[in-house]
Amino acid sequence: MGKSTLLHCLAGIMKPDSGEVRLLGERIDTMGERDRSTLRRTRFGFVFQFGQLLPELPADENVALPLMLGGMARGRSVQEARAWFGPLGLGGMEGRRPGELSGGQAQRVAIARALVTRPAVIFADEPTGALDQATGHEIMRILVEATKHHDASLVVVTHDPEVARWCDRVVEVRDGMILAPGQRQDRTQTLSGGNA
Amino acid sequence: MRNLLELSWRLLRGGGRQSMLGTGLTAAAVAISSALLVFALAANVAFAARADREAWRNPVEAKGTPVAIEATAKDYVRDLSITVVDVAPLREVSGVRPPGMNRMPRPGEVWVSPGLAGLMRELPAEQLAARFPGKVAGTIGNDGLLYPDELVAVVGRTAADPAMAASRADHPLTSTPPTKISDFTGRAGDETVVYQIMALIASVLMVVPLLVFGGAAARLTVARRDQRLAALRLVGATPWQVVMMTVAEAVITAFGGAVLGLVLYGAAIPLLSRIEMAGGSWFAADLWPGVLPVLGVLLAVPLLVGLSAVVGLRRVVVSPLGVAKRETPPAMRFVRVVALFVILIAVPLSSRSTSTTVVVGVLGLAFLGVNLVGPWVVGVIGRITTRTARRPARLLAGRRLVDDPRSAWRTVSGVALTGFIAGFVGLLSPSSDLLGVPPSTAGLRLVVPDAQAAALAEQARERLSGAGIDAHVKTSDRSGSGRAKERTLTISLPSGDGYTVRIDTARTALAGLVPGRIAASPVDDQWQGIRLLDDVRTGTLVVLGVSFLVAIASAGITAASSVLDRRQAYALLRLAGTPLEVLDRARRTETLVPLAVMGGGSILIGMFCALPFVYAAMSVSGAVTLLTSVAVGFAGVLGAGALSRPLLRSVTANPAPRPD
């Protein structure tokens, strides 16, 4: 309990009741809704368990959407979006719609979308929750590598120790409280952070 | 079966707040359609009831021994018309009496309607009451009246009275010559038949969008249940069980909505009864369609909604994974367009037919054709919008239109179908020019037999000066031939202040001067035409009002429901930093673009369908009606869509979207 809430506070989606959230020294919990929206769109990327792709848009337009929202022309946005498909193993999937992609493929499209704006931080909430173990492993590898490659930080919420193992730093949350490193017994509630 | 019903009920109740909201929207949609459906039915019943009550004033020649002589005429006071029925009883037959009266009028008696009695008390006798010979013997009850304030006088006369022999050919449209009758059954008047046909056409124009709207409401429930029902299929529910559960749920909701709609209609009766048609407002009882039609609506509406739900469910039943997987939807078939063209070709052909049923049927078909072709056009618009989109809002809107043209069509169908109606009646709206230039000479005319013309003119002068009226009486040239030779007395009155008092006094003074003839002004002679035009205009406004109500309700409900259906996508977009305005603009675009195209298209199709019935160019009032409709339509749909903005804000404010 509490790990998603913490992620939402970190990402500027919710305001914490107490405490501060800073990005590169700047407080974000005191920003207005509009500024936080802009922040989320430009500095953050999001990967969720499922349901994050718009079913009516083809894969490339799903990836291009954040760029277009940032004001980039459609043609260029789609062009830039397509550049992500090859490296993520999605070559040929550009025109497919989310319903025509497998779970792992859809998750890779979501990763491309999270990274396309070259954000400072990627927030991932149970990114492998809906995938089988092999695919989950593959997605985590791509996620971590791509984040590193683009010099971003990755914050992952997971209850899966296998996923947490990918991270440089692990913070355990239990019943809404952060556990001291020595208290780690139950690894089911984990907020993991990796600074690449 | 019982288990299934119980489970459906539990699912309906336990669906959570947003699911309850969805159910509520469906029930509201069904309630509005049912209320308006009852109204459409009641309008026909009401005109039929009036026609029945009016029949006794259209005497039918007796086949056996006559019991009375009946003749009618129209008189006028202020700007109102009075129906004067002269009755000369020939023999007593028990039970034979004019409707609304407890016995036959005796010679020398006058029976008046409550409205006329009130007016006779209100106005000085020399302006109204003195026109009727004899004493007021009773009041005509509602059975003999068309509407509550109608002005009717039944004048009892002897069979030998010269008024019972006059041909009354001076005003053939508004009077009937003395006729020997055996009872007061009569026959439906030509005018009431015209009104009944117009009511029928108006009903068709109102009912089709209602059915479309009701069907759309049913699909609303299904769309939201899709996922859950697919899950039920996955755990092994048979297709039959799934269908039964959906139908049960839809029917329960629809029944609730239908009952609510009836209550709504009942509450609206006092307001509706004030709509003036064919001379006056309505008896509340006329607007109650009767037990059988009401039961019919209560039965048919849930049935139709259930049926529509089944159609919407087909996909889920075919495959348990049918909704879990979303693929590129197949394009709408072009057949839809072909169907519309076939129907449109039939329109000019059908106008040659004199049968009302054929014309009304083709009209209904054309209407359905617009509804059929709508989703196809929306799909095409979606593809064009997508191709040309440069901004994300337009891209989202375009893709959404391509993805689910039917759902986008549901949002605008109401207004588009109203466009059809507006185009149809806009072209048909008669202009007042049809009646010609209103005569400028103020005064009265009285047709008199040629032989007595001079004497009657002199008497008229005496009567008028006796009543204190300063008038000029002129005798016109002869008209007619042989014994029927006639002249017209033209009575000119000074216009200006007090003209209505002077003219009513003059009418009263001249009453009975020529038995069976009434002095009437040139405007009086146009009175029937003016009233018909007024009524066509009122009817047009009512039909347009109803269809706008449907259209805007449907736009609002579908907009809200589309937010509910897509709450996950919206929430995630907002979470990823999409400004609410972009989502809102996308929503607006996906409504406005098809609205503009389809609205315009249906107006044109509506006009095309009206072409065979029209013989003059579009009137100014028609054009005004049309333009106002367009403005109200756009504003209404935008307003209704804007209403669901708080809902959009609330569903996207949920920071942790979870599938439900």
Last residue of a domain, one of B327, B349, B365: B327
Gap between the Cα atoms of B97 and B161, Å rounded:
20
* Lowest-pLDDT range of A46-60, A80-94, B216-230: B216-230
β-bridge pairing B152-156 and B80-89: parallel
Domain assignment of residue B104, given as a range = 59-186
* Residue B131, CB-side half-sphere exposure with 13 Å CA sphere: 30
Same domain, B169 and B205: no
- Clarify whether residues B497 and B626 are in a common domain: no
Any chain B CB within 8 A of the CB of A22? no
> Residue A51 and residue B579: Cβ atoms within 8 Å?
no
Average pLDDT across chain B, whole number: 80
CATH topology of domain A3-195: Rossmann fold (3.40.50)
Per-residue pLDDT tens for B633-652? 788 888 888 888 888 888 77
Whole-number Cα distances in Å, B151 to B263, B272, B283, B286, B515:
33, 21, 15, 18, 21
Residue A43 Cα, gap to closest chain B Cα (Å): 10
Q: What is the DSSP letter of B104?
A: P
The CB-side HSE value for B55 (13 A sphere, CA atoms) comes to 16
**Residue type for B533, please?**
L
Nearest residue in B to A48, CA atom: B572
Is the CB of A3 inside 8 Å of chain B's CB atoms?
Answer: no
B112 membership: H or E segment, kind and range: strand B109-112
* B251 exposure class (CB count in 10 Å sphere: 0-12, 13-18, 19+): buried
Give the dihedral sign, CA A77/A82/A88/A94.
positive
Q: Is A25 left (phi over 0), alpha (psi -120 to 50) or beta?
A: left
Task: Count Cβ atoms below 10 Å from residue A93 Cβ, excluding itself.
Answer: 20
**Cα–Cα distances in Å, from A113 out to A89, B4, B657?**
14, 44, 18
- Please identify, among B277, B308, B327, the residue that sits at the C-terminal boundary of a domain: B327
Tokens of B625: 């009606």
d(CA B593, nearest CA chain A) in Å: 18
Structure tokens at B474: 């002129």
Q: How far apart are CA B339 and CA B42, in angstroms?
A: 32
Q: Is the pLDDT of residue B269 over 90?
A: yes
Determine contact, residues A43/A115, Cβ cutoff 8 Å: no
Residues B647, B539 share a domain: yes
Q: Do B539 and B654 fall within a single domain?
A: yes
Domain at B447, CATH number? 3.30.70
Residue A55's φ and ψ, nearest 5 degrees, are -60, -25
- The answer, yes or no, to whether residue B135 has pLDDT greater than 70, is yes
Q: What does the pLDDT read at residue B99?
A: 92
B648 or B623, which is more confident: B648
Residues 6+ apart with CB under 8 A from B401: B378, B379, B381, B382, B385, B386, B408, B590, B593, B594
Q: What is the ipTM of this complex?
A: 0.77
Who wins on pLDDT, B130 or B233?
B130
Q: Which of B22, B553, B27 is nearest to B256 (CA)?
A: B27
Tell me, yes or no, whether B304 and B216 share the same domain: yes
Asked if residue B645 and residue B558 are part of one domain, the reply reads: yes
Which residue among A13, A56, A65 sits closest to B575, beta carbon to beta carbon? A13
> Among the residues of B404-490, which ranges form H helices?
405-428, 453-466
Which residue from A minimizes the CA distance to B396? A57
**8 Å CB contact between B478 and B444:** no
The predicted structure's pLDDT at residue B152 = 95
First to last CA, chain A: 27
Based on the domain organization, do B238 and B316 belong to the same domain?
yes
Task: Name the phi and psi angles at A67, rounded to 5.
Answer: -65, -45
pLDDT band at B245 (very low <50, low <70, confident <90, very high): confident
pLDDT surpassing 70 at residue A180: no
Name chain B contacts of A55, Cβ cutoff 8 Å: 326, 403, 569
The b/e string for B210-247 (b: 16+ C-beta within 10 A; e otherwise) is bbbbbbbbbbbbbbbbbebbbebbeeebeeebbbbbbb
Structural domain count, chain B: 4
Final residue of a domain: which of B311, B327, B343? B327
Averaged over A36-51, what is the pLDDT? 81
In this model, does residue B220 exceed pLDDT 90? no
Do B311 and B458 lie in one domain? The reply is no
Give the integer Cα–Cα distance in Å for B643 and B556: 7
CA gyration radius, chain B: 31
- Regarding whether B409 and B334 lie in a shared domain, the answer is yes
pLDDT digits (tens, 9 = 90+) for B7-52: 777 766 666 666 677 778 788 888 988 998 899 899 999 999 999 9
pLDDT over 70 (residue A124): yes
- Which runs of consecutive H residues, i.e. helices, occur in B183-238? 190-234
Residue B386 or B573, more confident: B386
Q: Would you report the helix, strand and coil content of chain A in percent, each value rounded to 5? A: 40, 15, 45
Q: Indicate if B542 and B651 belong to the same structural domain.
A: yes
The domain spans of chain A are 3-195
Q: Give the angle subtended at the CA of B312 by the CAs of B308 and B314, to the nearest 5°.
A: 120
pLDDT digits (tens, 9 = 90+) for B501-534: 888 899 998 888 888 888 888 777 777 777 877 7
Backbone angles phi, psi at A25, to 5 degrees: 85, -10
The CA distance from B244 to B386, in Å, is 39
Segment B394-406 shows an average pLDDT of 84
Whether the predicted pLDDT of B389 surpasses 70: yes
pTM here is 0.72
Q: Is A54 on the interface with B (CB under 8 A)?
A: yes
Are B410 and B546 in a shared domain?
Answer: yes
Percent of chain B at pLDDT exceeding 70: 85
Residues of chain A neighbouring B395 (CB-CB closer than 8 A): 57, 61, 65, 68, 74
Average pLDDT over residues B575-602: 82
Tokens of A178: 């952060």
The rounded distance, in Å, linking the Cα atoms of B69 and B29 is 55
What CA–CA distance (Å, rounded) separates B158 from B88?
5
pLDDT number for residue B105 = 92
Please indicate, yes or no, whether residues B427 and B552 belong to a single structural domain of this protein.
yes
Tracing tokens 């017994």 back to the chain, one arrives at A185
